[in-house]
């Protein structure tokens, strides 16, 4: 009975034969035999939450925008599970020995969704008008690109005044988005109408955005990679309530949801259902790290011994297991372990040790008062949900044991950002940042003193100033020798883990929930932001 139903789903004769053959070959050793290759068709319903502000990643690096845009746009490359760049719109690339020239060969015959040909002029225009100017993350990385040559439509050569090695770590669709020059040239990019009805070269074409409800993408029939994508349509639904998201996923109305779509408690339950799979891969390109910022201007926290005492007083193992339900691994350095080339495991460490914490606090001169309290601090947690609030509650309990009283303050995002980064009216704040494959992209911004006074969110929150650290950061930015660069970053890690203006707590493991019928869904280190062009349905979902 099952076999007949399977056959009736097939359309081509070849496919019918292959299914029959598979059935005849009864019980093959692995379920993924050749006859079970990707199947075409089906509509995938995914979740994007919160609703994106824009669908163009050129000037907005928020997660929702990138989740959708990664399907509409292609990058020059994508990143394989080892974080190595792999060909996408660029087929080959070469970095000169001195790091001052980077050349790319571009794929031929690629078309924008409106039918116009894609060429090196689009890349050059995007680099000069987007990556070097308004892209919030790339400005520093591309600022040393002096000139860009396009000898022909399929070649682009970057000439740099100083080397900039992190360039090769940001060249995917959302890291260095390529916009169609013919639709953007000469316009006000921030207000261009195509920002909300994007035209890309990617596997899926933008079709409709019904605000507050869904974003609809359709298969790009002219996609450059033969046979891909396999899905006919991708719908990104906006479901604001976490319990409703869990219900929609459990029921099968939604088959793909990234970035912790439901609470940890729910995922424990949903993971046991045979119809669902939980996957923590596909986030390595982001490599999120949870940390505490200590306001180093605070009368207690300005003493490095107090900061170190707090580090000793926190049981990061327990924090990861209990508060984060195992979706977090203790961090030893601000550069997470996924960045194998840069992570330094020999930095000063702070294992859970209450005695040492108490001793350091006594040594700093903050003895326990008659009520057992040494001093009181305020903690502002990142207002991104209960997980950060619980982290704050853990902090309060843990520090009480060594005589530090913590008052937890709650506020919304706008107030939090103003308090920490503009008014600097806080003692300890929690936050997370993406390290990205190169520390220069995501990590050093927390420590470089050049950000101080600029009131820019997610920069140096602690107020830390160290000339040597600043020097190392600036040297590494323009260092062309990878080995020398790694040494700079190792020295950087040693110093900041000794001074501890910021305490890395956990390497967070975000999770994706998807239907077990959805195959080949996580193939890249940047999959959570990447295209669903490889994904296919073993069995099409019942449409909701």
Does position 129 bind other proteins by CB under 8 A? no
The answer to whether 155 and 105 are in contact (CB under 8 A) is yes
Token look-up 């505490």 returns 292
Binding string, residues 151-190; x marks residues near other proteins by CB under 8 A = ---------------------------------------x
Give whichever of 250 and 470 is closer to other proteins, judged by the CB atom: 250
Candidate list 20, 35, 417, 475; residue touching other proteins; CB under 8 A = 417
Q: How far is the CB of 394 from other proteins (least distance, A)?
A: 24
Determine whether 138 is exposed, middle or buried from the number of CB atoms within 10 Å of its CB (0-12, 13-18, 19+): buried
Give whichever of 196 and 481 is closer to other proteins, judged by the CB atom: 196
The answer to whether 287 and 338 are in contact (CB under 8 A) is yes
Candidate list 68, 158, 178, 239; residue touching other proteins; CB under 8 A = 239
Report the candidate in 13, 535, 524 with the shortest Cα–Cα distance to residue 285: 524
Which span (45-53, 71-79, 341-349, 466-474) binds other proteins, by CB under 8 A?
Answer: 45-53
Does position 410 bind other proteins by CB under 8 A? no
Which span (22-30, 78-86, 235-243, 466-474) binds other proteins, by CB under 8 A?
Answer: 235-243
- Compute CA 368 distance to the chain's CA centroid, rounded to the nearest angstrom: 42
Which value, to the nearest 10 degrees, does the dihedral of the CA atoms of residues 248, 249, 253, 255 take?
150
Does position 543 bind other proteins by CB under 8 A? yes
Give whichever of 45 and 154 is closer to other proteins, judged by the CB atom: 45
Does position 37 bind other proteins by CB under 8 A? no
List 428's β-bridge partners, or say none. 294, 379
Candidate list 21, 98, 108, 136; residue touching other proteins; CB under 8 A = 136
Token look-up 């319903």 returns 45
Does position 137 bind other proteins by CB under 8 A? yes
Q: Would you tell me how many other CB atoms lie within 10 Å of the CB of residue 35? A: 15
Does position 238 bind other proteins by CB under 8 A? yes
Residues, the chain: 544
What part of residues 453-492 is at the interface with other proteins (CB under 8 A)? 454-459
Does position 251 bind other proteins by CB under 8 A? yes
Q: How far is the CB of 134 from other proteins (least distance, A)?
A: 6
DSSP-derived pairing of the beta strands 404-409 and 375-380? parallel
Give whichever of 359 and 415 is closer to other proteins, judged by the CB atom: 415
For the residues of 506-522, what is the DSSP string, one character each? EEE---EEEETTEES--
Q: How far is the CB of 129 from other proteins (least distance, A)?
A: 13
Phi-psi category of 428—alpha, beta or left, where left has phi over 0 and alpha has psi -120 to 50? Answer: beta
Give whichever of 147 and 454 is closer to other proteins, judged by the CB atom: 454
Tokens, residue 363 = 């040594």
Tokens, residue 262 = 């439901």
Contacts with other proteins by CB under 8 A: the residue count is 63
Q: Which residues contact 10 (CB under 8 A, 6 or more apart)?
A: 16, 19
List 157's β-bridge partners, or say none. 103, 149
Q: How far is the CB of 161 from other proteins (least distance, A)?
A: 20
DSSP state of 23: H
Does position 271 bind other proteins by CB under 8 A? no
Give whichever of 326 and 453 is closer to other proteins, judged by the CB atom: 453
Q: How far is the CB of 210 from other proteins (least distance, A)?
A: 7
Candidate list 195, 295, 430, 534; residue touching other proteins; CB under 8 A = 195
Does position 411 bind other proteins by CB under 8 A? yes
The answer to whether 67 and 526 are in contact (CB under 8 A) is no
Candidate list 134, 364, 495, 540; residue touching other proteins; CB under 8 A = 134
Q: What does each C-alpha distance from 427 to 328, 377, 407, 462, 498 come to in angstroms?
A: 24, 6, 10, 9, 19
Distance CA 119, CA 377 (A): 56
What part of residues 51-70 is at the interface with other proteins (CB under 8 A)? 51, 53-54, 59-63
Q: What does each C-alpha distance from 194 to 63, 132, 169, 190, 338 come to in angstroms?
A: 19, 20, 27, 10, 36
Candidate list 214, 312, 426, 447; residue touching other proteins; CB under 8 A = 214
Distance CA 327, CA 508 (A): 6
Residues at the interface with other proteins (CB under 8 A):
43, 45, 50-51, 53-54, 59-63, 133-134, 136-137, 139-140, 190-191, 195-196, 210-214, 216, 233, 235, 237-241, 243-244, 247-248, 250-251, 253, 411-419, 422, 433-434, 442, 445, 454-459, 543-544
């Amino acid at each position: 009975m099952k076999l007949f139903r399977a056959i009736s789903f097939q359309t081509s004769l070849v496919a019918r034969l292959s299914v029959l053959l598979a059935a005849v070959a009864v019980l093959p050793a692995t379920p993924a035999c050749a006859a079970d290759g990707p199947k075409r068709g089906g509509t995938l319903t995914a979740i994007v939450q919160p609703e994106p502000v824009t669908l163009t990643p050129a000037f907005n690096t928020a997660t929702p925008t990138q989740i959708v845009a990664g399907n509409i746009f292609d990058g020059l490359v994508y990143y394989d599970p080892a974080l190595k760049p792999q060909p996408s719109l660029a087929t080959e690339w070469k970095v000169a020995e001195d790091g001052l020239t980077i050349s790319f060969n571009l794929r031929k015959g690629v078309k924008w969704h409106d039918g116009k040909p894609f060429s090196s002029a689009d890349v050059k225009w995007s680099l000069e008008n987007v990556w070097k100017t308004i892209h919030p993350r790339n400005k520093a990385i591309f600022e040393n690109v002096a000139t860009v040559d396009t000898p022909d439509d399929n070649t682009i050569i970057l000439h740099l005044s100083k080397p900039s090695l992190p360039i090769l770590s940001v060249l995917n669709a959302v890291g260095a988005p390529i916009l169609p020059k013919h639709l953007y040239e000469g316009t006000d990019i921030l207000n261009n109408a195509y920002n909300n009805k994007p035209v890309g070269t990617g596997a899926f074409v933008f079709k409709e955005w019904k605000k507050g409800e869904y974003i609809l993408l359709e298969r790009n029939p002219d996609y450059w990679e033969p046979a891909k994508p396999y899905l006919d349509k991708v719908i990104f639904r906006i479901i604001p309530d976490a319990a409703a998201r869990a219900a929609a996923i459990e029921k099968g109305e939604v088959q793909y949801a990234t970035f912790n779509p439901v609470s940890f408690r729910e995922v424990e339950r949903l993971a046991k259902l045979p119809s669902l799979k939980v996957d923590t891969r596909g986030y390595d390109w982001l490599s999120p790290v949870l940390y505490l910022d200590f306001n180093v201007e605070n009368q207690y926290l300005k003493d490095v011994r107090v900061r170190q005492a707090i580090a000793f007083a926190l049981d990061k193992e327990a924090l990861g297991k209990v508060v984060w339900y195992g979706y977090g691994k203790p961090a030893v350095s601000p550069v997470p372990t996924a960045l194998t080339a840069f992570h330094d495991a020999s930095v000063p460490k702070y294992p859970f040790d209450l005695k040492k914490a108490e001793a350091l606090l006594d040594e700093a001169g903050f003895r326990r008062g008659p009520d057992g309290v040494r001093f009181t601090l305020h903690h502002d947690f990142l207002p991104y949900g209960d997980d950060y609030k619980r982290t704050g509650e853990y902090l309060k309990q843990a520090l009480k044991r060594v005589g530090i009283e913590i008052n937890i303050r709650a506020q919304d995002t706008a107030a939090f950002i103003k308090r920490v980064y503009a008014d600097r009216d806080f003692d300890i704040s929690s936050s997370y940042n993406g390290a990205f494959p190169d520390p220069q992209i995501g990590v050093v911004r927390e420590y470089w003193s050049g950000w101080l006074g600029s009131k820019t969110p997610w920069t140096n929150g602690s107020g830390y100033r160290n000339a040597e650290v600043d020097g190392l950061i600036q040297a590494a930015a323009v260092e062309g020798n990878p080995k020398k660069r790694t040494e700079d970053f190792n020295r950087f890690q040693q110093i900041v883990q000794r001074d501890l203006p910021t305490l890395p707590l956990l390497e967070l493991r975000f999770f994706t929930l998807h239907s077990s019928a959805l195959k080949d869904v996580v193939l890249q280190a940047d999959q959570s932001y990447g295209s669903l062009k490889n994904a296919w349905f073993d069995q099409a979902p019942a449409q909701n």
